[in-house]
């Protein structure tokens, strides 16, 4: 590391842990004094940036002399300062998380020095470093973050970013025991999780399926197979999950316009620290986590971290069991005071038994609705699948003396899935209650490679400081799949089904498919500070896209522009607007088996953003509009050629999003959001994307009690999902609307701090034991959501 703190930071706030890796080596100058003693408080408006630069700006504004040595400041960043503060309070905020303090020498003179050793680290402190894409959220006890770069590649605060940014922090995940991607997204405002069965999940934002995935801000090609590896990811390895709402072609390239999901990995710690958990819950749900990090040599220029989780659980459904294993490791090596090498890897494995393929049949052969208990499982007892995902990554970071930084990043990811599935899909007979079991054996293998390099930093133009980022990237994805189908087996009585049936002979391979995707791109983005209050972001990406295998296509020189503007109305509120283009090559085919043309169009967003308490509380109100020229709409299944038939339509989606995230007051965190969206086909004005709700509301909050009750934290959450429906044909071929009415779900959490290092947390989900569906109408089937359940977690921090 460039400048290792000698002691834990001051009280960690939402934007306080800002020890950045990539700032210039600039000495702190001695500045003239004047007027400091006559002013108890003063208004400041100092942007986030390199610590030495922000301190220089503050000293000039406050009229004080501030002296320090360059080695204390190398590689450090400050969250900036906005509001009315005394000199002492302002210095404390600017220096939070730096390991430094300002000593008053009298007569307006201050000297920076390392804070004295305050003894062993307590529960509230775990010194971490910044990953150059945004503030590390771990152990800040915050539901918000300081900066984000996955939207524009520029390091900006949420208020400065002209798109809706939603983040689920490490603290939020720990409070509500969110251990996998599905659970995190179920808590994320504006996101709908649709479960096709008890294995596969789809994620939707603003009415569109999310197929854009990033790891540490680097895109990985998913291409509609996000359940093939991404949902196996255990959250033990991640610091936070970021959602960039709307199209994100500037940093992602080809992608869908709903949102981009970015998983940001944990970093090594500067001091030996970590945690161990023991967890137990309903349906024999047992889990443990082991996480330890710290320096590996005396100088601290080599740091490592290892984390692992193990979980065995059953389900509310009969014969369903699941084992998950996750292992993560990362190593940082300071090659010089300005250069750092990072490399690491992860391994995730999930082994579910009692795996369904599709949901529970909706009808019998007389078109009478089927009602079964939530525990009913249409899968055979031998139905089984196995998924794993592993990745290796390396990055080289360098900071320059002029304030610029660069990064070269490479990653390899391999996902695989093997399954032998049997499940009752078709309608049972209304005459004798017999049914048939559909069986298949399938396997997928997916390999992704990504290489990206970029640089960013400040530059001067017309007497003002601006920011620029430039980069180039290359991605390659290779997917192979094979499917064996067996003949349907007869089930004597659907209502007495127990899953006990002989495993079939799978026969030969019926279908093989292969896809190869190459994407090369160059991009640039700049933030131009036109005045103190007005900033414009302009950027563009030139993409070359090639696809081979079963779907051959090529798109060369596709230009994806981005434009955004922000204007500060006052110290707390800004108005913003942004525009970008949609570009997404498609694999869907029409009735002639021809691949549809790329989905293209425009994405607009505008609204207000607010920031309070020096960034510890953020809010946004956005209006968005997405226009598509070649949206793929499902028509029917072609049984002869074994593929889904789609058609092209023009569509428009409009909506509003309101989000509030952060600290309402000391010890009180909140994350809440309301989304309203409607998608319509242009030609007929018909509503589409109706499997996701038009209205959605989520709120999760907790509060640590004051005084003698400070060992207790209480909290909970509520989520509302509006009415959803699907217009399909019933068993007899008649038009039918599957409709799920709006519903609420309530959750509770409570935590007790037994000692400084040991805590116990109880989470209760679906408190009122609400009957609801996570899928209603897809393939004439449905899927129940989880009944009331609870989890008790004991945790030891060291």
**Average pLDDT in the 713-729 region?**
93
Query: Per-residue confidence at 13, pLDDT binned at 50, 70, 90?
Result: very low
Per-residue model confidence (pLDDT) at position 591: 86
**Average pLDDT in the 459-482 region?**
93
pLDDT digits (tens, 9 = 90+) for 687-698: 988 989 999 999
- Computed over every residue of the chain, the mean pLDDT equals 86
pLDDT digits (tens, 9 = 90+) for 407-420: 999 999 998 889 99
**pLDDT higher than threshold 60 for residue 795:** yes
DSSP 383: -
**pLDDT higher than threshold 50 for residue 427:** yes
Q: Which residues contact 495 (CB under 8 A, 6 or more apart)?
A: 433
Query: Per-residue confidence at 73, pLDDT binned at 50, 70, 90?
Result: low
**Average pLDDT in the 591-620 region?**
91
Per-residue model confidence (pLDDT) at position 270: 87
Of residues 660 and 444, more confidence is placed in: 660
pLDDT digits (tens, 9 = 90+) for 517-568: 899 999 999 999 999 999 999 999 999 999 887 778 888 999 999 999 999 9
* Cα–Cα distance, 735 to 221 (Å, whole number): 37
Per-residue model confidence (pLDDT) at position 585: 85
Per-residue model confidence (pLDDT) at position 755: 95
Structure-token match 């680290």, residue found? 121
Residue 186 DSSP SS3: helix
Per-residue model confidence (pLDDT) at position 121: 31
**Average pLDDT in the 495-502 region?**
93
Q: Using alpha carbons, list the distances in angstroms from residue 112 to 16, 53, 66, 80.
A: 18, 14, 7, 17
pLDDT digits (tens, 9 = 90+) for 257-311: 999 999 999 999 988 999 999 999 999 999 999 999 999 999 999 999 999 999 9
Per-residue model confidence (pLDDT) at position 282: 97
pLDDT digits (tens, 9 = 90+) for 328-378: 999 999 999 999 999 999 999 999 999 998 899 999 999 899 999 999 999
Beta-strand (E) ranges in 51-91? 65-67, 77-78, 81-85
Helices of type H across 479-624: none
Of residues 643 and 665, more confidence is placed in: 665
Per-residue model confidence (pLDDT) at position 391: 93
pLDDT digits (tens, 9 = 90+) for 219-266: 887 654 444 445 568 999 999 999 999 998 888 888 889 999 999 999
Per-residue model confidence (pLDDT) at position 74: 58
Write the burial class of residue 314 (CB in 10 Å: 0-12 exposed, 13-18 middle, 19+ buried): middle
Contact 367, 34 (CB under 8 A): no
**pLDDT higher than threshold 90 for residue 614:** no
Q: Which tokens is 44 given? A: 């400041």
Sign of the alpha-carbon dihedral angle for 119, 121, 123, 126: positive
Per-residue model confidence (pLDDT) at position 316: 96
**Average pLDDT in the 645-671 region?**
94
* Cα–Cα distance, 148 to 156 (Å, whole number): 5
Per-residue model confidence (pLDDT) at position 116: 60
Contact 790, 766 (CB under 8 A): no
Contact 477, 221 (CB under 8 A): yes
Write the burial class of residue 788 (CB in 10 Å: 0-12 exposed, 13-18 middle, 19+ buried): middle
Q: Which residues contact 718 (CB under 8 A, 6 or more apart)?
A: 697, 698, 699, 744, 745, 746, 747
- Percent of the chain that is helix, strand, coil (3-state, to 5): 10, 55, 35
In this prediction the pTM is: 0.83
Report the 10 Å Cβ neighbour count for 706. 9
DSSP strand pairing (435-461 vs 464-485): antiparallel
Domains along the chain with CATH numbers: 1-119 (3.55.50.30), 273-797 (2.40.170.20)
Helices of type H across 145-224: 170-175, 181-187
Report the 10 Å Cβ neighbour count for 209. 19
């Amino acid at each position: 590391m460039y400048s290792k703190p000698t002691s834990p930071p001051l009280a960690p706030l939402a934007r306080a842990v800002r020890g950045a890796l990539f700032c210039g080596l600039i000495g702190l100058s001695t500045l003239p004094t004047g007027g400091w003693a006559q002013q108890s408080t003063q208004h400041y408006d100092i942007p986030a940036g390199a610590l030495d630069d922000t301190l220089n700006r503050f000293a000039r504004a406050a009229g004080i002399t501030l002296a320090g040595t360059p080695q204390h400041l190398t590689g450090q960043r400050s969250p900036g300062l906005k509001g009315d503060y005394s000199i002492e309070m302002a210095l404390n905020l600017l220096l939070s998380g730096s390991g430094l303090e300002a000593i008053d020498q009298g007569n307006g003179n201050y000297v920076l020095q390392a804070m004295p050793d305050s003894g062993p680290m307590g529960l509230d402190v775990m010194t971490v470093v910044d990953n150059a894409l945004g503030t590390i959220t771990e152990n800040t006890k915050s539901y918000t973050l300081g900066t984000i770069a996955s939207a524009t590649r520029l390091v900006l605060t949420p208020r400065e970013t002209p798109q809706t940014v939603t983040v689920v922090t490490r603290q939020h995940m720990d409070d509500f025991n969110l251990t996998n991607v599905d659970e995190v997204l179920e808590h994320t405002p504006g996101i709908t999780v649709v479960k096709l069965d008890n294995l596969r999940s789809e994620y939707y934002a603003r009415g569109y399926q999310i197929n854009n995935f990033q790891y540490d801000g680097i895109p990985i090609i998913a291409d509609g197979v996000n359940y093939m590896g991404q949902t196996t990811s255990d959250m033990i390895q991640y610091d936070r999950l970021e959602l960039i709402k709307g199209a994100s072609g500037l940093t992602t390239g080809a992608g869908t316009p709903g949102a981009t999901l970015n998983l940001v990995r944990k970093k090594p710690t500067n001091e030996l620290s970590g945690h161990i958990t023991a967890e137990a819950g309903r349906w024999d749900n047992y889990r443990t986590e082991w996480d330890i990090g710290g320096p590996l040599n005396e100088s601290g220029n080599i740091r490592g971290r290892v984390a692992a989780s193990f979980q065995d659980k059953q389900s509310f459904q009969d014969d369903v069991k699941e084992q998950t294993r996750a292992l993560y490791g990362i190593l940082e090596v300071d090659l010089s005071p300005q250069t750092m090498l990072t490399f690491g890897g992860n391994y995730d494995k999930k082994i579910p038994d009692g795996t369904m393929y599709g949901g529970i049949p909706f009808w019998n052969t007389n078109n009478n609705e089927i009602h079964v208990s939530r525990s009913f499982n249409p899968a055979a007892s031998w139905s089984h699948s196995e998924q794993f995902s592993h990745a290796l990554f390396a990055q080289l970071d360098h900071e320059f003396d002029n304030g610029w930084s660069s990064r070269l990043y490479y990653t390899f990811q391999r996902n695989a899935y093997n399954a032998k599935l049997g499940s009752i899909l078709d309608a049972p007979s209304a005459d004798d209650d017999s049914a048939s079991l559909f069986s298949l054996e399938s396997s997928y293998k997916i390999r992704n490679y990504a290489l990206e390099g970029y640089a960013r930093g400040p530059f001067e133009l017309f007497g003002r400081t601006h920011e620029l980022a430039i980069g180039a990237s290359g991605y390659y994805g290779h997917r192979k799949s094979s499917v064996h189908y067996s003949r349907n087996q007869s089930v004597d009585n659907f209502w007495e089904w127990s899953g006990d049936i002989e495993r079939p002979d799978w026969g030969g391979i019926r279908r093989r498919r292969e896809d190869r995707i190459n994407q090369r791109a160059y991009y640039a983005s700049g933030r131009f500070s036109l005045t103190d209050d007005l900033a414009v972001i302009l950027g563009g990406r030139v993409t070359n896209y090639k696809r081979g295998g079963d779907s051959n296509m090529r798109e060369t020189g596709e230009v994806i522009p981005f434009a955004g503007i922000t204007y500060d109305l006052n110290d707390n509120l800004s108005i913003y607007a942004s525009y970008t283009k949609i570009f997404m090559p498609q694999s869907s085919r029409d009735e002639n088996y021809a691949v549809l043309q790329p989905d293209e169009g425009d994405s607009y967003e505008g609204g207000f953003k607010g920031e309070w308490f020096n960034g510890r509380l953020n809010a946004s109100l956005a209006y968005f509009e997405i226009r598509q020229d070649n949206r793929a709409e499902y028509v029917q299944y072609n049984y002869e050629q074994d593929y889904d038939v789609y058609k092209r339509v023009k569509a428009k989606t409009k909506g509003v999003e309101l989000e509030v995230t952060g600290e309402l007051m000391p010890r009180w965190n909140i994350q809440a959001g309301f989304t309203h969206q409607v998608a319509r086909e242009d030609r007929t004005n018909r509503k589409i994307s109706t499997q996701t709700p038009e209205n959605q509301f989520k709120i999760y909050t907790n509060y640590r009690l004051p005084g003698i009750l400070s060992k207790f934290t209480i909290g909970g959450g509520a989520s509302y999902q509006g009415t959803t429906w699907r217009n399909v044909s019933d068993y007899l071929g008649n038009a039918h609307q599957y409709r799920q009415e709006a519903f609420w779900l309530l959750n509770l959490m409570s935590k007790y701090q037994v000692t400084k290092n040991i805590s116990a947390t109880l989470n209760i989900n679906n408190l009122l034991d609400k009957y609801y569906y996570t899928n209603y109408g897809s393939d004439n089937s449905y899927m129940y959501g989880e009944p009331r359940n609870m989890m008790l977690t004991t945790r030891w921090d060291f």
